[in-house]
Amino acid sequence: MEMNAVLQFLDAERNEEEGAESIRARIRDVVSRLGFDYFTLVRQPGPESPASDIMLEGQWPKGWPDLYVKRKYATIDPIVRYLGHSQRGYRWREPMEAFKEDPHHKRMQRMMADARRFGLEDGYAFPVHGRRGLVGVLTVAGRPVELSPSEMAMMDALAKKAFWELLEALDPDAHERISRPVTMPLTRREMETLEYLGYGMTSNEMGATLGLSAHTVDWYMNGIQDKLQAKNRHHVVAIAFRLGLIS
């Protein structure tokens, strides 16, 4: 495994004048030198990254994306679904094991069998997180490549550096929005409410514990949701965990 290629990429200081094509060439070079046949570096679809423009760099085997769409694998793709469970890179076999009791497991197996027919015998996914959650992922695949724990850690670092450098070159506004530091001026009562929410308590249960009405708890929750720019209470908890506000 030519991990020196990764070290060189990580050590290289980006020139402010360097354009996206140069960064893309460096990413393609390091992935190729690592022995992977295919890769993609994508933005997470959502408010900060339109679904129509999520691909930053890379390619899949010819015909694979068409079959993937035709058979609607996006709805059950274990590799994508596992992104919500992992804070680090993982091999494709991990999600298959994690979802072995899933009702869609047979379709997942069929998807992986189809992928192997296109030369995607094995692969790894390396999620990239910003302050508000998952923002992108580097996927490398092709012939089986064995990565040690230390090499996995280096690939995690590679994914982060490649993603942020390329995003800054392609879309400086999006880069600034999703990478800026987040300050959360929560009041003591809001922090208490947030902590109990993390335990899965309802408004009535929090109110009984705090000596407040459920209506007052809801008022605090609305304020927390606005400050975190969250869509709902589940999103509040996810963001709070990511920011270290609750544990």
Query: Nearest to residue 138, comparing CAs of 39, 51, 60, 50?
Result: 39
CATH number, domain of 212, equals 1.10.10.10
Distance from C-alpha of 6 to C-alpha of 27, rounded to nearest angstrom = 10
Q: Give yes or no: residues 122 and 58 share one domain.
A: yes
| Pair 127, 207 in one domain | no
pLDDT of residue 219 exceeding 80: yes
User: Left (φ > 0), alpha (ψ -120 to 50) or beta: where does 228 sit?
Assistant: alpha
Q: How far is CA 220 from CA 194, 197, 202, 217, 235, in A?
A: 9, 11, 13, 5, 15
Residue 192 shares a structural domain with residue 173:
no
Q: Based on the domain organization, do 80 and 160 belong to the same domain?
A: yes
Q: How much is the pLDDT for 132? A: 59
Question: Is the same domain home to 115 and 207?
Answer: no
216-224 mean pLDDT: 94
143-164 pLDDT, tens digit per residue, is: 999 999 999 999 999 999 999 9
Last residue of a domain, one of 160, 179, 198: 179
Measured in Å, how far apart are the chain's first and last C-alpha atoms?
37
Q: What are phi and psi of 92, to 5 degrees?
A: -60, -25
What whole-number distance in Å separates Cα of residue 211 and Cα of residue 234?
23
Of 137, 152, 179, which marks where a domain is finished? 179
Same domain, 147 and 234: no
Which of 179, 200, 232 is at the close of a domain? 179
The C-alpha atoms of residue 135 and residue 246 are separated, in whole angstroms, by: 21
Pairing status of strand 38-43 against strand 90-91: unpaired
Task: Please give the Cα distance from 124 to 144 (Å, whole number).
Answer: 10
Handedness of CA 70, 113, 137, 33 (dihedral sign): negative
Quick one: pLDDT at residue 181? 64
| Count of domains observed in the chain | 2
pTM of the full structure: 0.76
Whether 49 has a pLDDT exceeding 50, the answer reads no
Are residues 161 and 212 part of one domain? no
Residue 94: give its domain's CATH number. Answer: 3.30.450.80
- In this prediction, residue 98 carries a pLDDT of 94
pLDDT at 179: 74
Q: Identify whether residues 139 and 221 lie together within a single domain.
A: no
Read off the pLDDT of residues 54-78 as tens digits, 9 standing for 90 and up: 899 999 999 999 999 999 999 999 9
Exposure pattern of 155-173 as b/e (b: 16+ CB <10 Å)? bbbbbbbbbbbbbbbbbee
Q: Range of 123's domain?
A: 4-179
Are 194 and 100 in a shared domain?
no
Mean pLDDT of the region 5-10: 93
